[in-house]
Amino acid sequence: MKIVVLDGYTENPGDLSWDELEKLGELTVYDRTAYAESPLIAERIGDAEIVVMNKTPISRATMDKCPNIKLIAVLATGYNVVDCACAREKGIPVVNVPTYGTASVSQFSIALLLEICHHIGHHSESVHAGRWADNADWCYWDYPLIELEGKTIGIIGFGRIGQAEGRVAKALGMNVLAYDLYPNDRGREIAEYVDLDTLYARADVVTLHCNLTPENTGMINKDSIAKMKDGVILINNARGQLISEQDVADALNSGTRGIACTFMRGGPAGFVPEPIRPDNPLLGAKNCILTPHISWAPKESRQRIMDTTVENVRAFLAGAPVNVVNR
């Protein structure tokens, strides 16, 4: 059984091992192939039966050119880069990794929140640049410092990740509000469920952890921002398309105090590509923290992706596929 990994570098830049996957077949690993439709994709798949990928698109045209494909295994939770309907027509199961980064992603959101409250990176750089050694007073700070105890966080999307963040926020002494289409008892132990307008009006911090859908694309825009408190902190640790980037940049530049944002731009077809474009309006916005798409990427999370992918392939070879998303 031939197995090809089309874009393995972000999953394993060298600190993990493909050995367990290699035990299951004749393995070829490419660091990168293409992140847009390209003849190279079909060329590299060739006569392989199992295709493993993360962001390399697998289209109908590619599947037509590669009739040996028996399984498509995605090294992620999202699978929008695969034409799942075509795969289903051809009897090809598409499998994913349904959960792997709950702790890592929620931890990253809290890290962003603490950074916007204390600007630790900035102050560390200023000390290294000699400002403290030359300062007239025994301490200084360049931004208002924010204490979180007693403040209110509003979490939009209160599934596994949102609830994990809520537990940490509660431990910091924050009041927790949540908006979710499917409230549950576990969530009620952590947060007060409210509607969106109430969340916007009451929250000092608004965080996004929801899936991207046609209904919520661009949900953070000038109208929703107008319903928020002055000086609100907005953290988008979900898909980039949830926010109107120009509207957020305009709010920041007009005086809204802080937005911390991980720039996660993958999404359904039609998409805004990663990496960030040089003309993105957030790059010039005030009080805006931007990172690469990294909240998923601690070694522990990536090892869980590797382990689940190996199990997905092993289950398929045993005739009992699991984590199939296109039944």
Three-class secondary structure of residue 24 per DSSP = coil
Tell me: the pLDDT tens digits for 275-291? 888 998 989 988 889 98
Instruction: Report d(CA 207, CA 308) in Å as an integer.
Output: 28
Instruction: Decide if 37 is catalytic.
Output: no
Question: What's the confidence (pLDDT) of residue 131?
Answer: 97
pTM of the model: 0.90
Which fold does the domain 2-100+299-317 belong to in CATH? Rossmann fold (3.40.50)
Instruction: Report d(CA 255, CA 101) in Å as an integer.
Output: 34
- Are 2-100+299-317 and 102-291 in the same CATH fold? yes
pLDDT per residue of the chain (327 residues) written in tens, 0 to 9: 999 999 999 999 999 999 999 999 999 999 999 999 999 999 999 999 999 999 999 999 999 999 999 999 999 998 989 999 999 999 999 999 999 999 999 999 999 999 999 999 999 999 999 999 999 999 999 999 999 999 999 999 999 999 999 999 999 999 999 999 999 999 999 999 999 999 999 999 999 999 888 899 999 999 999 999 988 999 998 888 899 999 999 999 886 545 655 544 443 333 356 788 899 898 998 888 998 889 999 999 999 999 999 999 999 999 999 999 999
Three-class secondary structure of residue 26 per DSSP = strand
Three-class secondary structure of residue 58 per DSSP = strand
Domain ranges, ordered by start, for the chain: 2-100+299-317, 102-291
Residue 63 amino acid letter: M
Question: What's the confidence (pLDDT) of residue 213?
Answer: 87
Contact yes or no for 264/295 (Cβ under 8 A): yes
The catalytic residue among 44, 209, 239, 265 is: 239
Instruction: Decide if 239 is catalytic.
Output: yes
Contact yes or no for 71/47 (Cβ under 8 A): no
Which fold does the domain 102-291 belong to in CATH? Rossmann fold (3.40.50)
Instruction: Report d(CA 273, CA 178) in Å as an integer.
Output: 29
Question: What's the confidence (pLDDT) of residue 270?
Answer: 32
Residue (of 135, 134, 183, 175) closest to 153 by Cα position: 175
Instruction: Decide if 22 is catalytic.
Output: no
Instruction: Report d(CA 214, CA 207) in Å as an integer.
Output: 19
Question: What's the confidence (pLDDT) of residue 240?
Answer: 85
Contact yes or no for 191/179 (Cβ under 8 A): no
Question: What's the confidence (pLDDT) of residue 261?
Answer: 56
Question: What's the confidence (pLDDT) of residue 263?
Answer: 45
Contact yes or no for 30/4 (Cβ under 8 A): yes
